[in-house]
Amino acid sequence: MSQVQLFPPDWDMADIHERLRELRTARKLTQARVAELLGISPRVYTRWESGGATPLFGTVVKLADILGVTLDELAGRKDVSSQALIRNPELNRLCGKVDQLSDEDQKALLVVLDSLVKRSRVSQVMAEV
């Protein structure tokens, strides 16, 4: 029975540390925040990014979800998609469900989001004064 090759022969899980750092910084997440989202110690996550340790596969799947990429993108087998990215994974997950809402509920959601964004801008301007 022949084995199916899932990864290129020169690919090594040890290379994942570079992709983790690249994707995390592109999303403006701190190491501590990613560790918090995973429910692990920041020290453990730091070791993954430094190449001192390698996460288990189940954790790699969670990392892909948190970073908003596919496993192929995380592994470097595919370029990262250029579609709009919401850095907060919970908000990103909920946004995927917005299309299931009625038109009326979507309009209400737009009003709420618009008011929150405007309030935030006003607070930033007031802080600068």
Q: Considering the domain 13-75 in this protein, what is its CATH number?
A: 1.10.260.40
Structure tokens at 20: 């983790």
Percent pLDDT > 90 in the chain is 26
Judged against a pLDDT cut of 60, whether residue 3 lies above it is answered with no
Q: What is the pLDDT of residue 21?
A: 92
The maximal CA–CA distance of the chain, rounded, in angstroms, is: 72
Domain coordinates of the chain in residue numbers? 13-75, 97-128
Between CA 14 and CA 74 the distance in angstroms is: 12
Neighbours of 20 (CB within 10 A): 21
**Which DSSP state fits 76?**
T
φ, ψ (nearest 5 deg) of residue 84 = -55, 140
Statement: the pTM of the whole predicted model exceeds 0.85:
no
Structure tokens at 3: 């084995």
- Residue 92: name the closest of 21, 30, 29 by CA: 29
25 SS3 class: helix
Using CA atoms in the order 87, 89, 95, 96, what is the torsion angle rounded to 10 degrees? Answer: 120
Between CA 88 and CA 6 the distance in angstroms is: 30
Judged against a pLDDT cut of 70, whether residue 7 lies above it is answered with no
Q: What digits encode the pLDDT tens for the residues 34-56?
A: 999 899 999 999 999 999 998 99
- Residue 94: name the closest of 113, 71, 80 by CA: 113
